[in-house]
Amino acid sequence: APARVELHTDSRYLANAFNQGWLDSWQDNGWKTSSNKPVKNKDLWQKLLAAVEKHEVEWTWVKGHAGNPLNELVDDMVGQARAKFK
């Protein structure tokens, strides 16, 4: 079932890709940037688009490493997960 999600990210690139219409432009331009270069990680963008397309997602940028408790928690979790793969 579709869900309403408020996703907070410290990646301006990710938030802007959705909020400023970059993804729409990239797709319309055959996955090329405004400078006519191939979009990096096209496969990952396509997977993310497929994952969110049925949902209402609000992309909110938060400053990283600025004391936001949930952002710090996620950073810690990512570090722990990354350590398992080293």
- What's the topology of domain 4-84? Nucleotidyltransferase; domain 5 (3.30.420)
Mean pLDDT of 11-26: 97
Q: Which of 61, 62, 54 is nearest to 18 (CA)?
A: 61
The predicted structure's pLDDT at residue 16: 98
56-84 pLDDT, tens digit per residue, is 999 999 998 888 899 899 999 999 999 99
Burial of 77 (0-12, 13-18, 19+ CB in 10 A): exposed
Mean of pLDDT over the chain: 95
Among 6-20, 36-50, 59-73, name the one with the lowest average pLDDT.
59-73
Domain residue spans in the chain? 4-84
Amino acid letter for position 76? D
